[in-house]
Each structure stands twice: as structure tokens, then as C-alpha cells.
Structure 1
Amino acid sequence: MSGTDPRSRARRQQLLRVRGRSVAWVPPLLLLVAIAAIDSNTSGEFRIISWIVLVPGIAAAICGVRGTAVFAVLALVTYIEVDAAWPHQDQTGLPDFILVAVGGALATTACAVRVREERRMLHMQDVADTTRRTVLRPMPSPWAGLEHAAVYLAADSEARVGGDFYDIQPGPHGTRVLLGDVQGKGLPAVAAAAALLGTFREAGFHEASLAAVAERLEVRMGRHRQYVTDLGEDPEGEPARGVERFATAVLVAFPPPGVPGGHIEVVNFGHEPPLVVGPSGVRALPPGDGLPLGLGGLAGPDSGVPPVRRVPLAPDETLLLVTDGVTEARDADGVFFPLREHVVLAVAADPAAAHPRHLVELVREGTLRHSTDRLADDTTIFAVRQTPPGAHQGPGEPPDRPGTPREG
């Protein structure tokens, strides 16, 4: 993580506070006093008073603009007083005076630039956080008959948002779950993810069949690609490459809360197959045999969307969905992260690891440890299972009244 990361600066500033008060002024003040004291107690052949130019430099790194300016003035005044106390032949004179004066001015200017940049970065962080909360909306847990947990890690620590997306949409026809990964990075990927999530939240509520939801997602991705192509440039102002934009995704349908289940429906758009994790073991769902969203037309106009598969899921089993930030995480030798083996060993040692919250944390720690905290791609880990009978049920969403528009 870079030193310009706002979170790193926040931790640094926290270390420079005691009982809520800033003590950032202490290090440069101690350095000022130490240089003056040492210079006053040495021989004329070893003068270090010119080192006092370091004081405003240190202040520029940890203090505000006013504090740095104060230390620049203090350093100059201290230099004059200490140097004047020596005999004329031992004084450092005008050259070092100019050095300290110019050094203080430059340090104050550098501090002003640093503070302005930090404020800009904090503003960008707020924008990124707002964008992330809009695309990846907060969800109560449990919700609509499902317990869930998720971790999202952006490969770009500054942007903190990328092309991975996930959501849960309850409705009168059951609860639908979507996880996907848009090809590419940056704002173009975020725009595509937002378009797909908006469609999913509407179609997942209103459509009775999962196949219809899948069809709506495929159409939406095609429309978004065409829009970007017609626009002539992507959201970052670069030449449009909309014809290349696609997204892998997994669409899942759970039965409505209270309805006996035992099965779920799954549509896989070329994504890594989810894992089913339970006390009895770990198994992978059938691999995705469909093309990613946005590429369905390559298989012909009558190819349609991938088939809806009905697969068993016991009440104590958790569905684990991840993006390629997990499956393609590599160690120093280029070896991929062994996700399934990692989960199998953890569940065998402790069946409670199959709980969504524990499972997500387990995969997160394993991925970061394997890749030594260097993620090459955005990483999403999403685990969901049906709420055990008798457990507290989170609020679902009431049906729309006829003629009333609804936002996801």
C-alpha cells in the first residue's frame, strides 16, 4: 500500500495524537532544541547550527502549514541567536543564514502542497466510497431468508472500487443472488457493473423465471456496449472499446422464505463455478457452459442465454462465490491460490468454518497471505446460505403497488 494512501495517512496522524490532541509539533521542537544545545557546547571547529534547516523540513512532513511556518521562523531566530553568541571568527555567517531562510520557505511551501494534496485525496476517497456504496449497496443480514457475508478488495487501493459486483434481490418469486466481474478496470468497468446491477434489481424482483432475469441481463449488457460505442469514448475520456466489454457472472435463485426448498437454480455466464461448503464437505457446481454477458451474440442469434440448472443445496450448506481476484491470485513462484483445497482443509478441521462470515474471512486471509497482499485484480468473496428455521428473518421488500415506479 502506497504512502499516499489516505488510510496510511490517517493511521500516521493517529499516532501523533495523545488524548485527542496533536503532538506533531514535538519531534521538530526536540530537534530544534537538540541542535541548538549541541552547537552551543562544541568547539568552533565543529559547528552544526546550519543543520537547523532540518527542523522546518521535519515539520513540513507531519505538521500543518501554520506549524511549519512557525518552525521556519523559530529555526531562523534560533540560528541568529546561537551563531551570534560565538566569536566573530567562529560564526558561520551569511551563507548559512540564507540556507536556513530559504530552507524554511521551501519547507512551508512543500507543506502547503502536501496539505492540499491530502485534502484532494480525502475528497476522492469520499467520492470512491459513495460510488462503492451506490454500486455495492449495504445489505442487512440475514435478509429475505438468507444469511450472507461479503468482502470486496479493490486492486487499486486509491480508487477502492472496480468492476466486481454482487447483490441480493428479494421479491415475490423468491430471492435472487448475482455476482459478477466486468472485464477491464476503472470507471468503464464501474459503469458496466452499475448498469447490470440496476437491471438485476428490477428484473430480479418482477420476473417470475430465472431465465427471464438472465435474458434481461444479457440484453442490458448489449445495450450498454452499444451505448459506449455510439458515445465514442468511455467514462474516462479514452477512445471507446465498447465492443470488447463483457462480464462473467453467476445468477442464483433461492426459494421464498418459508417455502420448503432443498434446491436452487443457477445460471452461469462463463464464471468460475461456485463452491458448496457444508459440514459434510465441499463440492463445486457444474462449470459455466455459457458465454459471458455481452458475448451471447457470438454463438448465433438463436443461441439464447445459458441454461438454468437446478442443483441441490442442503439447509446447512453455504454457497461460496468468488471473482478471479481469488482464483488467479499467485504467490512469488507464480502458483495459483488453491481455493478448494484451502476450504476443504479448514472445514475438515472445523465444520463451523462453513458459516458465511467465517468462510469469507477464511478465504480473504488465505488469498492475501498467498499473494503477499499484492492483488493483481479486484477481489470479491461472497458467501450465502438459507437462514436456519426459527432464526431471525431480516426484512424483505414489499411488493410494488400497481403503477408505482421502484428503484433498486
Structure 2
Amino acid sequence: MEYGVRRRLQRLHGRNVPWMPPLLLLVGIVLLDLNATERFRIISWIVLVPGTAAAVCGLRTTAVFTVLAVVAYVAVDTAWPDRYRAGPGDFVLVAVGGLMAVVASGVRLCKERQTLHIQDIAETTRRTVLRPLPPRWAGLEHAGVYLAADVDARVGGDFYDIQPSPHGTRLLVGDVQGKGLAAVETAAALLGTFREAGYHEKDLATVAERLETRMRRHRSHTCALGRDDGDRFATAVLVGFPEHVPDAVDMVNFGHESPLAVGPRGIRELPSGDGLPLGFGDLAEGLPPVRRVPLAADETLLLVTDGVTEARDRADDFYPLARDIARAVAADQHDTDPRRLVLRVRDGVLRHSGGRLVDDTTVFAVRRIRQAQGEDPELGRLRS
């Protein structure tokens, strides 16, 4: 672990050359002082050398530059006649400044190690919540990208997962209302229920019921702990790929963005999220219905969170997702490939918003593995 931290610190500051700026500053001050007149003595500026080293170098390198600065000060100052010397006052300034630079360098490195450790924790959390998925799994090929609005946190309330089961492959994509660790905790709770119910339950409607129940239980538990989670909810799309229906999917939409079917013949908008989000099922007569919708073998299912559809440019216009994808597919039908499709949407959102993400952004694309590719759609299905 410590080795990995040191390597990343080296990459962070490019440790192959960070000593160059303080070295050039040291040489420049010495040469300028030696070639200046007695009215322009700048040798005391050499205190800037260890200060510069503290900002870009390691602890030992900063200590070396502190010693070099003190030695250079003494050597250059004594080279002048007595009446022109800077004197012991500036020597103390250089020595104390160097010691403070060494302390500052140690504090900076300690903070950087703490930051890297926190980033490691965030990355581990992200892998736990959004577990890595094989690119061709359970009869599906897919690609996904997640961009956290908080670049330091690296994880937020968006979630997605694929769960193989004896009853067909299931897919869940969603977005928890709110941000921060509470949203991450809710996403983890929903994904845990999906992975269990998605495998064991035969009916997709039962999986949907389990998700709704889990959301309400989780909210009740957090409220009992005194947290203000009483109104928390999650939008989601639950998709089932029936084993013996190659040209359709089953779908339950909990108030989420409408999925898009992207194929060589263009794009189609699938059923919208007219149902209530997860957690609000008690406000309606029942959960959103399971709908069977056509999805051809050469069509890719594209699902996004509102970080995509609500991305705005400087003119406050929303990102035109459907129009952008339709134009890309018309120009090149290979853009229906999940990986290329996800990258196009990601780049389009970042370009449209100028890189200013105001919400977590998830893009997920999936399609059945084609028989013509020599693959068995059931290959890789987990049954244990």
C-alpha cells in the first residue's frame, strides 16, 4: 500500500523533474547577486528556494535545498567586502525559512497521503456499489460510464447492475434522490435487494415489489436513526430479458427517464416513467405495470440518468440526447455498438455542459449477444 501511495505521489508531482524549479531559482539568485552592484544585493531572496521546494518536492529534497540555500548564502555573502554583506540577520531569515519549508513539506505530504487514502476508500466504495461487470455476460454485451458530479467523491446516488438468473437476465438502472453518503447507502441497499430478488424471483413484478419494499424499509430505518430521509426516493428502470423471447424485453419504469432503443433504422423511445418512484408506492393504487416492449436483435437499449437529460450549456439549453444519437446513427450505423454509444453520449454531455456536471451522470447501453457472432446467449449465465 505504501509503495502504491509513493508511486502515485511521484506521478502527481512528476518527481523526475520537480527539483528543477528550485534548482534554477537557486542558481539564478546566486549568479544575479554575484554580478549585481552593491546597491542590488538579492542573496536574501534565496529563502524562496526551500519554500519552492516544499511546494513541489519531497521531504528529503526540501531538506537538501534548505542546506544548499544556507551554504550558498554564506558563500556568496562572504565573497563581498564587509561593508556590503547582508549580515547575520538575513542568514537567520534564510535558516529559519528553510526549517519552516521542511516542516511545510512534511505537512503537505501527510495531507496528500490522507487524500489518497480517502480516494482509495471512495474507489473501494464505488466498486462495492457499482461492482465491475464482465463486458459480455449472461447473454448480453454492455457498456456503462459513471461520472460523479463531485469529482473528489467519485461515487454518488446513480446505480446500475446486471443479474443473471434461472428466469432470464435482469437489469436495473436508477438514480437516488439527493447526493452524499446517504444517497450511496440507499443505492447500495437497492442493489443488494436486486441481486437477491433478481436471481431468485421468477416474476419481474415480484422483483419490483421487493425493490419498493426495500426502499420503504430503508427509509424507515434511517428515519428511526434521526436522519432526515423521510422523503427520499429513487427513480429506476427494471428490465427483464426473457429466455425464449429474443425480440422483446419486459420493463417496469419507476418514474425514470424513458429508455431509448437505438438501431440501424433509427431510435425509438420506450415507455416513459409514468409510474411513481421507488418509495412512493403507497401513494398509488399499485406499482407500475410490467410492460413487454419490442426490442430487435440489432437494437441497443440505452438508459441514462437525469445527469444526461438535464445537462445544460451556457445558454441554459438541455442536452439534445435523442437528436444527437439519431444524427450519429444516421452517419454511422456502427454507433449502435454499446461501447461506442456510451462514449458518444458521455462526450456529448461533457461537450454540451462544458464539463460542468451539476448532477451525477450515468450512461448504460446493453444489447443481446447476436447468434451470428458465434456466441451462445446463455453462455456465462450464473446458476449458483
Q: Same fold (TM over 0.5)?
A: yes
Which residue in 1 is equivalent to 2:77? 83
Which residue in 2 is equivalent to 1:399? 383
Gaps of at least 5 residues in structure 1 are 1-5, 18-22, 233-239, 401-408
**For 1:127, what is the secondary structure of its paired residue?**
helix
Which residue in 2 is equivalent to 1:361? 343
Q: Any conservation in 1 of the 2:137–2:381 contact (CA below 8 Å)?
A: no
**For 1:44, what is the secondary structure of its paired residue?**
coil
Higher mean Cα deviation, 32-41 or 213-222?
32-41
**For 1:103, what is the secondary structure of its paired residue?**
helix
1:293 pairs with 278, 286, 294, which one? 278
2:165 maps to 1:147? no
The 5-angstrom pairing of residues 2-401 of structure 1 reads 12-14=12-14, 16-17=15-16, 23-232=17-226, 240-256=227-243, 259-299=244-284, 303-391=285-373, 392=375, 395-400=379-384
Which residue in 1 is equivalent to 2:3? none
Higher mean Cα deviation, 173-182 or 40-49?
40-49
TM-score under structure 2 length normalisation: 0.95
Measured in 2, the distance between the counterparts of 1:287 and 1:215 equals 19
Deviation of 1:38 (Å): 1.5
Deviation of 1:142 (Å): 0.9
**For 2:149, what is the secondary structure of its paired residue?**
coil
Distance 1:102 1:89, change over 3 A: same
What is the CA deviation profile of residues 249-294 of structure 1, one whole-angstrom value per residue up to 9, with x for unaligned ones? 00001123xx342111110000011111011001111211111001
**For 1:193, what is the secondary structure of its paired residue?**
helix
**For 1:100, what is the secondary structure of its paired residue?**
helix
Q: What is the total number of aligned residue pairs between the two structures?
A: 377
Higher mean Cα deviation, 30-39 or 189-198?
30-39
Measured in 1, the distance between the counterparts of 2:89 and 2:260 equals 72
Deviation of 1:157 (Å): 0.9
Q: Any conservation in 1 of the 2:138–2:382 contact (CA below 8 Å)?
A: no
Which residue in 2 is equivalent to 1:3? none
**For 2:317, what is the secondary structure of its paired residue?**
coil
AA aligned opposite 1:202: E
Measured in 2, the distance between the counterparts of 1:10 and 1:215 equals 50
AA aligned opposite 1:93: G
Measured in 2, the distance between the counterparts of 1:213 and 1:111 equals 55
**For 2:268, what is the secondary structure of its paired residue?**
strand
AA aligned opposite 1:254: F
**For 1:243, what is the secondary structure of its paired residue?**
coil
Measured in 2, the distance between the counterparts of 1:373 and 1:7 equals 28
Measured in 1, the distance between the counterparts of 2:63 and 2:76 equals 20
Higher mean Cα deviation, 46-55 or 166-175?
46-55
Distance 1:349 1:292, change over 3 A: same
State the superposition RMSD in angstroms: 1.7
Distance 1:92 1:116, change over 3 A: same
Which residue in 2 is equivalent to 1:403? none
Gaps of at least 5 residues in structure 2 are 1-5
Measured in 2, the distance between the counterparts of 1:152 and 1:286 equals 24
Higher mean Cα deviation, 369-378 or 29-38?
29-38
Measured in 2, the distance between the counterparts of 1:228 and 1:343 equals 40
Q: Any conservation in 1 of the 2:237–2:256 contact (CA below 8 Å)?
A: yes
Deviation of 1:99 (Å): 2.1
What is the CA deviation profile of residues 43-64 of structure 1, one whole-angstrom value per residue up to 9, with x for unaligned ones? 1111111111111111111111
Deviation of 1:103 (Å): 1.7
What is the CA deviation profile of residues 50-89 of structure 1, one whole-angstrom value per residue up to 9, with x for unaligned ones? 1111111111111111211121121112111111111112
AA aligned opposite 1:166: Y
What is the CA deviation profile of residues 213-249 of structure 1, one whole-angstrom value per residue up to 9, with x for unaligned ones? 00000000000000101112xxxxxxx1121111000
Q: Percent identity?
A: 63
What is the CA deviation profile of residues 7-58 of structure 1, one whole-angstrom value per residue up to 9, with x for unaligned ones? 99765434x43xxxxx322321222122111211111111111111111111
**For 1:320, what is the secondary structure of its paired residue?**
strand
TM-score under structure 1 length normalisation: 0.89
What is the CA deviation profile of residues 337-362 of structure 1, one whole-angstrom value per residue up to 9, with x for unaligned ones? 11111111111111110110000000
